[in-house]
Structure 1
């Protein structure tokens, strides 16, 4: 028996019988066929040169035309669930206009999953805002949350009876602070105040979306946050607390009904005035969710820099952070430069369970970009297998400690367009040749398949 098979057997035997294993993708990163939908902020951003290697959404993984092949891969993997996102500009290309063809694609995708006994896990928004709405102000526009509620209602009306899990948003911190506070992501704005306004409007959109879902018989709805553990020496406690506030507590406080903290208002008073926030909106945002998804990749490790050096580009993602602080990821790291540290997944789960008690948790994304090499038709990505093994062990440890963790989704099913990095950073468990669109399962796919096969043979 190979080493990865022994590890797969070990994990399968430790996994609770009702635990959900799945994998995930997002619409803009894989679908292609941009001419059959309206434009999104990521199309505009790529045309403006915002993607490092010059990639665009065409053809990406050509998933629109090859989704049956990808569904067969999911079936081969023996996953319990598949997390995907709907393209807002594909379904609602202009205003309240609904595209029948756009809805039909997701109709066939969902039916294809159900035919293969795979639970559909639908994310309503994974960053591809229609360009038409960005022209009105995007996530800083006061009308955006009502527009999002209408979009959510369209999806719920069509798919409520067939989708197992619903997520309103994916990683609103990224949408707000990479897209609006800095110009790292689409739409490429660079205004800290816009980042905070977008953050709040995203959460208000979540609240209104949840209301629309509930009104249309959706019973299993939550949202997805990218949460992590902030690590530093005690002399950086102030910076650590502020970054933890913006990365973790801001979102969880709103969901838990704690509103805006005094710390947030004090730390950001030189950036914006929060007097636009209304009490009734806070109540709406804090309506109970059925589950919370956590996307975890890496801890945020801080160190002090000497002299009077201001924070760099990365820490501009956390407006209001004290100066003389820098990110300090320790080796080993992924190709993204992200520190690999599975113990921080455990601490992230622990702190989230304490901050949002009583809400079931899922790990909705976890994975890494590594320098995959196609040799004689095979990709032996041992580093990714190690990554998955260590992080799944941490997840199972959390369950042993009493944390209500119910599932794990590997990121990602396919190599894809990794946002501003383009196709040069590969996160997939399935290799994609972007010239031919050939799919080749990597060793990591074999590893996850083994876990699923052994688990199900024991049931």
Structure 2
């Protein structure tokens, strides 16, 4: 399995607000792009999520806030040429991560839709035509309803269906797609669908007694990743394809640093982060409570992943209360809140990169972005990308093997249980016409990419002669 590697330098705590955009460092090979999920941008056909959106809790309350459904969302399915043109012209990205909708490819068990496969072939060709590297995600929370009816990942014997789908897609596109993400955020799929603390995803089985089932689901997801990794490696182009797992590193911290306040965070971190990273490092997943339940899985000998996809947004603060144990929508003094229940906290991205680097795998930041209702100057979005890209740059310069940064996300879209309330996109989308409008806060990301692609950020920051040292300095001044 992967050995722990030493890295040359770990920077002490830093204040990204005191840094300047003309100090960034990104090598010429660095990937900049966007990440999307098909369902969030196009809706679905017959999936666990289309069923979930159109049903309610037992008390009649909609599963989705305000009773919204994905519909066709921003209609990326039909408007992908426009989206590709936008991100190339306005940002000059060189990579694009997107999911392939299993429910569209295999709407009935064992029946594959050639028209849907052809659609993705044409989209991939359109990306390659403008020198955008495709990165495919095989499972991004969504799967066909027939798979859900079988119990999905609750049963180990169902893994074979996901492997078969993955092989079908890989055989179709491996000659054109160099990067493959097996499963997006297995811990979030488990946490939001099977635990009682924030049960807002299908199948909505979270309860006080659901912990054994939740851990079994996580074990099966990691086993599915392993089986897909080896199955795809055995296919043509498998030896050159880069195949990895995408993990959201959501660190739980106590709002108050005392023994009672930090214990819940330790428990959640063990399940949500340590268990997955330990599996990728050692090949063994092991989690449970003695005399209650225990799940273990040991992967076959050999590599488990060619890279790690890291989704990082912020930390989750937990305030222990006897009547409640859940992350609060709060931040530490001096921090700025997003519209999601967490703050802008770029130091956490650097610290996470340091920890994940112990896997000895290349790191791609496969999701990072902010939900913020747009204002005239879009200050919070500018602040977010200034600080998080600075944290990424520092990690790269300090010797950590970070090879790409993918913004979440391109267009405002359907944000799962929150419906259309969370505005993560760098383009707003007019609901009636679906017209895309570039947001003011996108300028930071665009300027950094353009400067990096032009070779202006390929010199280590210690070699820069910094002229303008104000917080408003821009990469355009380089």
Shift of the 44–301 alpha-carbon distance from structure 1 to 2, 3 Å rule, reads: same
Counterpart for residue 372 of structure 1 = 374
Q: Which runs of 5 or more residues in structure 1 are unaligned?
A: 1-6, 316-325, 374-378
Q: Encode CA deviations 1:411-458: one digit per residue, 9 max, x unaligned.
A: 001100000000111100111112210000112333322222222223
Counterpart for residue 257 of structure 1 = 282
- Candidates 144, 152, 155, aligned match of 1:138: 152
Task: Point out which structure has higher relative CO (alpha carbons under 8 A, 6+ apart).
Answer: 2
Q: Distance in 1 between matches of 2:22 and 2:247?
A: 29
Counterpart for residue 303 of structure 2 = 287
- 1:353·1:403 contact (CA, 8 Å) conserved in 2? yes
Deviation at 1:328, TM superposition (A): 5.1
1:399 aligns with 2:396: yes
- 1:21·1:408 contact (CA, 8 Å) conserved in 2? yes
- Candidates 204, 216, 220, aligned match of 2:223: 204
What SS does the corresponding residue of 1:16 show, helix, strand or coil? coil
Counterpart for residue 345 of structure 2 = 341
Deviation at 1:310, TM superposition (A): 4.4
Counterpart for residue 176 of structure 1 = 190
Counterpart for residue 424 of structure 1 = 421
Deviation at 1:257, TM superposition (A): 1.9
Q: Distance in 2 between matches of 1:43 and 1:228?
A: 26
Q: Distance in 1 between matches of 2:339 and 2:397?
A: 32
Residues 30-429 of structure 1: pairs in structure 2 closer than 5 A: 30-32=41-43, 34=44, 37=45, 39-48=46-55, 49-76=62-89, 77-182=91-196, 183-190=199-206, 191-216=210-235, 217-218=237-238, 219-232=241-254, 233-235=257-259, 236-257=261-282, 259-261=284-286, 264-266=287-289, 269-270=291-292, 272-274=293-295, 277-279=296-298, 282-283=299-300, 287-305=303-321, 309-312=322-325, 314=326, 329-330=331-332, 331-354=335-358, 356=359, 358-373=360-375, 380-429=377-426
Q: Encode CA deviations 1:187-241: one digit per residue, 9 max, x unaligned.
A: 2222222211111111111011111211122321111000133434252454332
Deviation at 1:143, TM superposition (A): 2.1
Deviation at 1:135, TM superposition (A): 0.8
Q: Encode CA deviations 1:106-128: one digit per residue, 9 max, x unaligned.
A: 11110000001000011010011
Q: Distance in 1 between matches of 2:317 and 2:354?
A: 18
Counterpart for residue 453 of structure 2 = 456
Q: Which moved more, 1:287-296 or 1:166-175?
A: 287-296
- 2:247·2:311 contact (CA, 8 Å) conserved in 1? yes
TM-score by length of 2: 0.83
Q: Which moved more, 1:105-114 or 1:438-447?
A: 438-447
Deviation at 1:327, TM superposition (A): 7.5
Counterpart for residue 444 of structure 1 = 441
Q: Distance in 2 between matches of 1:269 and 1:176?
A: 22
What SS does the corresponding residue of 2:50 show, helix, strand or coil? helix
- 1:20·1:80 contact (CA, 8 Å) conserved in 2? yes
What SS does the corresponding residue of 1:408 show, helix, strand or coil? strand
- 1:228·1:344 contact (CA, 8 Å) conserved in 2? no
- 1:181·1:193 contact (CA, 8 Å) conserved in 2? no
- 2:363·2:401 contact (CA, 8 Å) conserved in 1? yes
What SS does the corresponding residue of 1:340 show, helix, strand or coil? coil
Counterpart for residue 319 of structure 1 = none
Deviation at 1:53, TM superposition (A): 2.4
- Give the number of equivalent residue pairs: 418
Q: Distance in 1 between matches of 2:291 and 2:394?
A: 40
- 2:219·2:285 contact (CA, 8 Å) conserved in 1? no
